[in-house]
């Protein structure tokens, strides 16, 4: 699975395998060289995503997120970076610019700590753009040059699709994940995300082959968004997972054709 990788990259891969099986599958569908870049970035995502949930104390959660912001600042500013099984390999694959972008990605995850709803559509969009969108940009541009606007459109669509899938868990934890949780509200959000997905797909040529493996992580987004738009009750019922065979075959198609 990770032959030839450093021990740190192997640790990152193991972390992603345990905590984020979809991204692990997507990374394993990428060329080997790309995996060594993607696993540390996806491991960062695991660590940041779970930081607000491992404690009931907001101050401790804030401190956990600040730890990652400090680590990313060290990567951005160099040359000294703390020794850590995720931070160390991250420092080898992130430019100063991408490290600074991921600092914004960590900062916006403060919303996860508290139970306040989103203020308005702009607040929700900023959350998705700076979390899922920035993660997509960083992963793709760490592999090679690619158009940021296209990546952000695709990242927004992937972010909304993943958000829909997470809603039952978020609600069980006392969060208010949607501005409008009615069937009509879900359909409108799915339609908006699909429009951004289709806009990104219409400009595939702006994401060269070297960067495309980062987009494999969004291989289920179109299916999820279309299901949410056609049957919005699936969101609240937690029925937005593909069957295992469809899941694997659809990823194989994306990986083999490059048509994300």
Sorting pLDDT into bands at 50, 70 and 90, what band is 212? very high
Query: Full-prediction pTM beyond 0.85?
Result: yes
> Distance (Å, rounded) from C-alpha 99 to C-alpha 95?
6
Q: What does each C-alpha distance from 63 to 4, 51, 138, 241 come to in angstroms?
A: 35, 9, 23, 33
| pLDDT per residue as tens digits for the range 101-131 | 999 999 999 999 999 999 999 999 999 999 9
Domains of the chain: residue spans and CATH:
7-114 (no CATH), 120-260 (1.10.600.10)
**Residue 254 scores a pLDDT above 70:** yes
> How many angstroms separate the most distant Cα atoms in the chain?
51
Closest residue by Cα to residue 88 from 99, 97, 102, 75: 75
Q: Are 193 and 225 in contact (CB under 8 A)?
A: yes
Q: What mean pLDDT, rounded, does the chain reach?
A: 96
User: How many angstroms separate the CA atoms of 179 and 192, rounded?
Assistant: 14
pLDDT at 213 over 60: yes
Encode pLDDT of 59-100 as tens digits.
Answer: 999 999 999 999 999 999 989 999 999 999 999 999 999 999
Q: Is 106 exposed, middle or buried (0-12, 13-18, 19+ CB in 10 A)?
A: buried
CA angle 251, 252, 256 (to 5 degrees): 120
| pLDDT, tens digit, 9 for 90 and up, residues 6-49 | 999 999 999 999 999 999 999 999 999 999 999 999 999 999 99
- pLDDT for position 4: 76
Reduced to 3 DSSP states, what percent helix, strand and coil does the chain have, rounded to the nearest 5? 75, 0, 25
Taking a C-beta distance cutoff of 8 angstroms, is the pair 157, 225 a contact?
yes
Distance CA 221, CA 31 (A): 22
């Amino acid at each position: 699975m990770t032959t030839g990788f450093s021990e740190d990259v192997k640790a990152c891969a193991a972390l992603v395998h345990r905590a984020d099986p979809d991204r692990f599958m997507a990374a394993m569908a990428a060329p080997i060289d790309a995996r060594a870049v993607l696993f540390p970035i996806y491991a960062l995502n695991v660590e940041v995503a779970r930081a607000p949930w491992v404690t009931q104390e907001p101050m401790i959660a804030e401190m956990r997120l600040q730890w990652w912001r400090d680590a990313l600042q060290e990567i951005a500013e160099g040359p000294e970076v703390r020794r850590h099984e995720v931070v160390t390999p991250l420092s080898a694959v992130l430019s100063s610019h991408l490290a600074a972008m991921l600092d914004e990605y960590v900062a916006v995850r403060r919303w996860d700590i508290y139970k306040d709803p989103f203020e308005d559509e702009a607040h929700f969009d900023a959350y998705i753009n700076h979390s899922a969108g920035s993660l997509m940009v960083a992963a793709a541009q760490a592999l090679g040059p690619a158009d940021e606007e296209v990546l952000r459109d695709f990242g927004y669509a992937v972010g909304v699709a993943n958000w829909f899938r997470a809603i039952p868990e978020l609600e069980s934890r006392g969060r208010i994940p949607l501005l409008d949780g009615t069937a009509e509200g879900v359909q409108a959000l799915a339609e908006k995300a699909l429009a951004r997905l289709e806009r990104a797909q219409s400009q595939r040529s702006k994401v060269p082959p070297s960067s495309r493996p980062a987009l494999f992580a969004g291989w289920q987004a179109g299916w999820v968004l279309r299901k949410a738009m056609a049957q919005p009750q699936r969101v609240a019922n937690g029925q937005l997972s593909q069957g295992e065979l469809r899941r694997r075959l659809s990823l194989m198609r994306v990986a083999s054709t490059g048509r994300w």
